Structure 1
Amino acid sequence: MPADTSPVLRHVVLFAFKNEAPSEAVDAIVAAFAALPAAIPGIAAYESGTNVSPEGLNDGLTHCFTLTFAAAEDRDAYLNHPEHQRFVGMLGTCLERAVVVDYWVR
Structure 2
Amino acid sequence: MSANLAANPAANPSSLLRHVVLFSFKASASAEQVDRVVGDFGTLKDAVPGIEAYEWGTNVSPEGLNDGFTHCFTLSFATAEARDGYLVHAAHQAFVATLGACLERSLVVDYWTQ
Structure 2-normalised TM-score?
0.88
Classify the secondary structure of the residue corresponding to 1:92. Answer: helix
Q: Which has the larger radius of gyration?
A: 2
Quote the RMSD (CA, aligned, Å): 1.3
**Identity of matched residues, %:** 64
| Superposed displacement of residue 57, structure 1 | 0.3
| Superposed displacement of residue 5, structure 1 | 5.3
Count of residues in Structure 1 that have an aligned counterpart in Structure 2: 104
Runs of 4+ in 1 over 3 A off after TM superposition: none
Deviations 1:16-64 (A, max 9, x none): 0001011101100000001100000100000000000000000000000
| Superposed displacement of residue 7, structure 1 | 1.1
Deviations 1:45-84 (A, max 9, x none): 0000000000000000000000000000000000000000
Segments of structure 2 that go 5 or more residues without pairing to the other structure are 1-11
Classify the secondary structure of the residue corresponding to 2:100. Answer: coil
Classify the secondary structure of the residue corresponding to 2:91. Answer: helix
Q: Which residue number corresponds to residue 110 of structure 2?
A: 102
2:63 aligned with 1:63: no
Matches within 5 A, 1:47-62: 47-62=55-70
Q: Which residue number corresponds to residue 85 of structure 1?
A: 93
Classify the secondary structure of the residue corresponding to 1:25. Answer: helix
